[in-house]
Structure 1
Amino acid sequence: MLTEVARIQCPYCWEMIELIVDCSVADQEYTEDCGVCCRPIIITVYAEGGELQHIEARSEDD
C-alpha cells in the first residue's frame, strides 16, 4: 500500500490535522473525525500513479 501524510484544515475548528492517505486508490471519498473537535470531516482524495495529487476537506453541511 502506498501512503502519504497529508495536512488538512478542519472546516469546523480550523485546526491543522494530519491524515495518512492511501494513494494506491485513484479517487476516494470518506469521513474522518477531527482529532481536535471530533466532528466528522468529509475527505476527498485524488491520487495518480501512487502519488497524492489533491485532497479536500469539507463539513457535512456543504
Structure 2
Amino acid sequence: MQTTSEFYCAYCGEENTTFVDLSAGGQQSYVEDCQVCCRPNILYLRIDEDTLEVEIDSEYEG
C-alpha cells in the first residue's frame, strides 16, 4: 500500500512530495533527490501504525 507525504529539502528548503510504501515497516530510510534543486536527501520516515500518519526528516547526503 502506498501513500504520499511531504518533506523539505535539506539543501534548498523547498517542499517535495514523495511516495511512501506503508508495507515496508514503521521506520524507513532512503535517498531521494529534491524535485527542485536535484540534490540527494537522506529521508528518515516514521509511520504511526494506528493512524498511518507519516513524519519525514531529511538531511544532507554525504
TM tier, smaller: 0.7 to 0.9
1:53: how far off? 3.7
* Percent identity over paired residues: 35
Runs of 4+ in 1 over 6 A off after TM superposition: none
Q: How many residues align?
A: 60
What letter matches 1:12 in structure 2?
Answer: Y
- After TM superposition, the score normalised by the length of structure 1 is 0.79
* Partner-residue secondary structure (3-state), 1:24: helix
- After TM superposition, the score normalised by the length of structure 2 is 0.79
The structure where strand makes up a greater share of residues is: 1
Matches within 5 A, 1:1-62: 2-26=1-25, 27-47=27-47, 48=49, 51-61=52-62
RMSD: 1.8
Query: Which ranges in structure 1 are unaligned for 5 or more consecutive residues?
Result: none
The structure where helix makes up a greater share of residues is: 2
Query: Which ranges in structure 2 are unaligned for 5 or more consecutive residues?
Result: none
